[in-house]
Structure 1
Amino acid sequence: MPLTIVQLDLIGRYLNIYFGSFMLIAGLLGSCINLWLFTRHRFRKSPCSRFVIASSLFDILHLIVALFLRVLADGFGKDPASSSVIGCRIRYYLITFSAYASLGCRCLASFDRYACTSRSISFREWSSFKIAYNFLIINTFIWICFALPNFLYFNLVPIGPARVICHIAEKAYSNYFAYFVNPVLYFSLPLIIIITLAIKTHKNLRLMNKTKRIKRLERRMASMIILQAITNSISSIPYGIQFFYSVITFTSEKDEYRRAQENLFLQITRLSYYINFISAFYIYYVSSKQIRSTIRRTILRQKKLSTPSTSSSSSSKNQFSDKYASRKSFK
């Protein structure tokens, strides 16, 4: 028996409330742990750590302005961005900036790992702290400027007698996003860059393993970036398919039931898209024994620090009771 329109809408709503909330908490927690990990002395030695730190900061911003507000809008029916034009434009400016800046950091991290594992001495010089900082400044500046048109072309668009949404109000800018920005700049080009660099880095690692000319930390960082590239590529496919489908069928006649089906598919693929912004720490944790041991040692250290205070308090209580008992017996 097929699901009704109401049931399809309820599934999408509960997906946003429960799964979306879980992803939000997991993403914020993972990004904060990444910041803590890669600012430590052991992991700061690699230039790639700078891209991971910057990407984690952009991920936190994106999860707040995109996923958190999306859960409020699609899960609880409360969309703060639709209450004012200024809020609408600021939100989508920050969404665009943080998404592309984070993606740029992942591309730069992939390039850094490729350069670091290169057999060419001159090309390995591209993996340095100075170049990493310069790349980060350029990356941030490009996407700050790139997102500026959102302040002009996003507006509150009515979609019913008593409902408005924050959307692109200019058709030319909408076509620019639909046919160039999303398919080329966000999906196709970064995936080609990341996958190509991941394959080349993997080949370099195989050669380096024979000659053992690469530090263990750099090798592990390269392996983590490769695994993250694969995960991001897979998680981007459903949303890319949904996006191309919506563009192709935009002018098609659709009944209410088909719209409800497409909306549910949109909710599912949109949540899969957020995996790009929540998965970094968990990929690093699974693929790196060094990260697991660092976290384990930190937890054990915290337990040891809390244990003496407990034992000292209990010993002081015992001493007090002994003194009290001796005084009582003396009397």
Structure 2
Amino acid sequence: MELTMAQLASIGRWLNISLGSFMLIIGLAGSIINLWLFTRHRYRKSPCSRFILTSSIFDMLHLLVALFPRVLAEGFDIDPASWSTAGCRIRYYLITFSAYTALGCRCLAVFDRYACTSRSISFRQWSSFKIAYRFITINILIWACFSLPNFLFFNLVPMGTPLRLVCYIWKQEYYNYFAYFVNPVLYFALPLVIFILFTILTQKNLRMMKKSTRVKRLERQMTSMIILQAISNSVSSIPYGVQFAYSVVSHNAKKDAYRLAQEHLFLQITRLSYYINFITAFYIYYISSHQIRATIKRHLKFKEVSKTKEHTSLLNLSKE
């Protein structure tokens, strides 16, 4: 039995409200825990922690400027970006800036793990705090400048039936640039190649130095964490790549209203899967690192002991 157009629209709305809200909450919580975790003394010892901290900050920013307004717009028909031209342009500047800066930090983290596990002493020097700070600064500056055209080419455009103002790219050439180069190449293909290449090379380094004690336990765990995150990012990018490929292939095809409704639902699903990259970091680290699990459990246990002592003290005071 085929679903009606109204049912397809309801499913999309429900997914954005329920799943989108859930992803927003766990994503923000995970980023906040990462900020707390990787500013602790033990984890600050690794240069890779700087990439994790920076990506966590921009993950949080991206969720607030991209996912949160999307939940409001697709789930509740409240689109803050359509309220003013300035708001529209600022939002899409921050969306592009935060997404690519966070992604750049993840690519740099994978490279850092490869450098850290290299047998070459000179190449291992690329894994240092000095290099990490330089890479992070360059990464932020590149994407801050790269996103500036959004201020020119995003505007409130009348779209849909009935017509309503939507924040969208108003110049076709810039739309083509984003649709056929920026998104497929810079967001999907290039990071995927970097993740796969340096994950394979790092795994090769780890096998070659399996019996070596040169790499500290913390660095080994950090390496495992980053490799798993790279794999997760690669897999979660596949639906986005499939959706883009389909949209290009079927661009000139004649489509009835029902097919457009089906494609819109598929688009909602792939857009939500896109945010997996920005919400899973902490949970991957927690699963893959014994030290992180121990740190969090120890902190929670300390909190419980503190509360018990405080409660006991209050009882003793009341008895007196």
Give the alignment's TM-score, normalised by structure 2: 0.98
> Could you tell me how far apart the structure 2 residues matched to 1:20 and 1:197 are?
31
> How many angstroms does 1:155 deviate by?
1.0
Q: Which residue number in structure 1 is paired with residue 92 of structure 2?
A: 92
Give the match's secondary structure for 2:159.
strand
The separation in 2 between residues aligned to 1:244 and 1:164, in whole angstroms, is 28
> What is residue 138 of structure 1 aligned with on the other side?
138
Which is greater in Rg? Answer: 1
- Which stretches of structure 1, 4 residues or longer, exceed 3 Å deviation after superposition? none
Q: Which structure 1 residue ranges, 5 or more long, are not aligned?
A: 320-331
Matched residue, 1:264: 265
Greater Cα shift, 63-72 or 204-213: 204-213
1:72 corresponds in structure 2 to: 72
Q: Distance in 2 between matches of 1:299 and 1:305?
A: 10
The AA in structure 1 aligned to 2:139 is: N
CA distance in 2, matches of 1:141, 1:44: 24
Q: Structure 1 227/29 Cα, relative in aligned 2: closer, same or farther at 3 Å?
A: same
* 1:17 maps onto 2:22 in alignment: no
1:194 alignment partner in structure 2 = 195
Equivalent residue runs for 1:284-299 within 5 Å:
284-299=285-300
RMSD: 0.8
Does the residue aligned with 2:155 lie in a helix, a strand or coil?
strand
Q: Which residue of 1 aligns with 2:109?
A: 109
User: Per-residue displacement from partner, 1:161-191 (whole Å, max 9, x unpaired)?
Assistant: 4312111110111111111111111100111
Partner of 1:327: none
The alignment's TM-score, normalised by the length of structure 1, stands at: 0.95
Gaps of 5+ in 2: none
Write the letter of the residue equivalent to 2:151. F
Q: Which has the larger displacement, 194-203 or 246-255?
A: 246-255
Aligned residues: 319
For residues 25-78 of structure 1, the C-alpha deviation after alignment (integer angstroms, 9 at most, x for no partner) is 000000000000000000000000000000000000000000000000001110
CA distance in 2, matches of 1:186, 1:141: 17
Q: Which residue number corresponds to residue 254 of structure 2?
A: 253
Match of 1:328 in 2: none
Which residue in the other structure is 1:148 paired with?
A: 148
1:42 maps to what in 2? 42
Q: Name the structure 2 match of 1:83.
A: 83
Amino acid at match of 1:210: K
Equivalent residue number for residue 172 of structure 1: 173
Residue identity matched to 2:146:
F
**Counterparts of 1:2 and 1:164 in 2: how far apart (Å)?**
32
Structure 1 CA distance for aligned equivalents of residues 99 and 67 of structure 2: 12
Secondary structure in 2 matching 1:6 = helix
